Amino acid sequence: MSNTVPPPAGGRSTRRTFLAASSVAAGGFALAACGGGSAGGTGSEDSTLPGIGNNGKVGSGRKGEGADQLFLAGFQFSPPTNFNTFAGAPAWPAANNVAQYVYETLLRFNVLTGELKPGLAADYSVDGTSSVSMTLQEGITWSDGTPFTADDVLYTFELGKIDPSLSVAAFWTEADSITADGDTVTVAINPDRKNVGMVLQQLAVQFIVPKAVFEKVAAQTGNKLASWETKELLGTGPYTLEKADQTQIILARNDKYWGQKFYGGLPAPTKIIHPIFKSNEDGNLKFQNGELDVMQAFVPQISKMWDSGKPVGTYLKDEPYFVPGSVPLLFFNTARGALADPQVRRAIAFAIDYASIAETAMSGYSGDVQASLIIPGGAEDKWADAGRAQADGWTFDAAKADQTLTAAGYAKGSDGVYAKGGQRLGPWKLITPQGWTDWNAALEIVAKNLQAVGIDAATNFPQQAQVTTQVQNGDFDMACWYVSGTNPATPWQRFSDVMSNVELAPAGQTAYRNYGRWTSDQVNDLLEAAAAAPDDGSKKQALTALDDLYRQQAPAVPLMYRPDEFFEFNASNWTNFPTEANAYAPPMFRGAGNDWLFKIKKIEG
């Protein structure tokens, strides 16, 4: 199981893996309570249907009301208490940049292609590095029937000025202004930064909220909007909040949804039901038996489900089963002893058995790790140069690790540990939070690998809050930590996360990027060139230069790839889920992933 909780950058909400949730409500859940019967059991063969189990099997469908409902899990792990999207930990689906079931965004990102699809905006255009313009869709209404206008868009982003503690405040780092002329909304890009990608990222993740509601909230809270508590939701999306208690959250389809013409109809499910389980095993069994239709969860060895005859599927039929969208990194504290030496860091990179991490820690869900900060196999492919990564980077090669250290003047002492000039390689602690079990397992492998080549390293797994403080304050030797997942601003944003020297925080002060305090007199100019590149050709050239510098210096090392979201489905009641062979939508819940809600097909039970 995994309890990795990497809150992605760019204002995105915390994503937790479902099966390892450690604090959930007491209380149960049964399909019968919603009028349905189980569609579980072993599926039957029907390889002619698209979007079914990886074994070509489907279920027999549920009966009663449950047949028209979608049962989903993996986002809510405790009783919902607050649906304020700007709160510190809002309940699903109000948390920013999760599924667009109630709130929606202007644009919708596709993790497979990098495409920004229409959302509340029907189209968008970019004028060099000066502005982004969007035309709003026609006829948008809030779920209470009131009109949606450009004023709602403007006010949503103005909230970042009204309350600078909100995540939407980050918009104003990259934007100079946002204005409207009728249904046309224009964002003027900060001329000093010229970072089009970061502006598009904000437009793709920020839920648009009703001005009429949040204007009153600002007045009531003295502009402290995160403090507001509410059990209600008013959005533009295809669902409304019907019920929320200790056992489940129920969304009801809005049959007057404005987007029927745009999407070609209403979503297929009449309700979306997110149960809150009392144990990990309950969720696992419900999914395996078809009582959950789709899930966002790290399920170890998920192939055993379809091997046992269950109609369970993933986007990719073969390993790694999931499209890569994030990359946990081993950060080095370059201000500590020999870790300041890039040859030591590169030697560590050669010493790591990445295939073992992929198979053991990630259940085979990670492809071959490349010596690059660009994630292969999806939206970032067009920026990657696999040949350079292979020629100038590293792969698991313990002998090469030894050669690298020896060439740099290090020699093994009587204790078998490398040292140079009295500076020993270790003892070093490898940290990541306790309970993030896939990352814990990865670091155990790394520690064993380093000990084998003569580097004194051991693991230490404190609680998440302590690790967060240690990483941000530079109080660590090596740490497995997260950076930006694939989004409209990556890979630039990931290079910035790892390497930026802008306002570099000294040790002891909180850093939100470059946790290893790596220094360079080149990197800021390269980051600026990549951000402000006027076309794809010059952007790739700048990103390639950044990746070259990254490989030379190795301030952090990719350990594995993970999906942007774990997307698993059970075709016991619904078919036509998106897969590589049925690729009409990406395997996502957020962004462009909501397309599949309108296309899945009910099995008649």
pLDDT in tens, 89-109: 999 999 988 999 999 999 999
| pLDDT at site 231 | 97
pLDDT at 220 over 90: yes
Q: What is the pLDDT of residues 378-419, one digit of tens each?
A: 999 999 999 999 999 999 999 999 999 999 999 999 999 999
201-210: average pLDDT: 98
> Which whole-number Å values give the CA distances from 442 to 201, 326, 330, 475, 591, in the listed order?
30, 15, 10, 21, 30
Q: What is the DSSP letter of 132?
A: E
pLDDT tier at 284 (50, 70, 90 boundaries)? confident
Q: Which ranges in the chain are annotated with CATH 3.90.76.10?
A: 107-227
Fold classified for 107-227: Dipeptide-binding Protein; domain 1 (3.90.76)
Q: Which ranges in the chain are annotated with CATH 3.10.105.10?
A: 329-558
| pLDDT at site 20 | 31
Cβ atoms within 10 A of the Cβ of 127, count?
A: 12
Q: Token digits for 205? A: 């993740």
User: Of 6, 2, 7, which Cα lies nearest the Cα of 19?
Assistant: 2
| pLDDT at site 244 | 97
Q: What is the pLDDT of residues 441-455, one digit of tens each?
A: 999 999 999 999 999
107-122: average pLDDT: 97
Residues contacting residue 152 through CB under 8 Å, at least 6 positions apart: 208, 209, 210, 211
Q: Which ranges in the chain are annotated with CATH 3.40.190.10?
A: 69-73+238-321+564-602
Give me the percent of the chain exceeding a pLDDT of 70: 92
| pLDDT at site 277 | 85
Q: Which of 143-152, 163-172, 295-304 has the lowest mean pLDDT?
A: 295-304
Q: What is the DSSP letter of 278?
A: S
Rounded to whole angstroms, the Cα distance separating 311 from 291 reads: 12
Q: What is the pLDDT of residues 360-383, one digit of tens each?
A: 999 999 999 999 999 999 999 999
| pLDDT at site 9 | 34
CATH superfamily label, 69-73+238-321+564-602: Periplasmic binding protein-like II (3.40.190.10)
User: Of 381, 430, 391, 426, which Cα lies nearest the Cα of 405?
Assistant: 426
Strand partners for 116: 109
Fold classified for 329-558: Dipeptide-binding Protein; domain 3 (3.10.105)
| pLDDT at site 47 | 67
pLDDT tier at 245 (50, 70, 90 boundaries)? very high
Query: With a threshold of 0.85, does the pTM exceed it?
Result: yes
| pLDDT at site 238 | 98
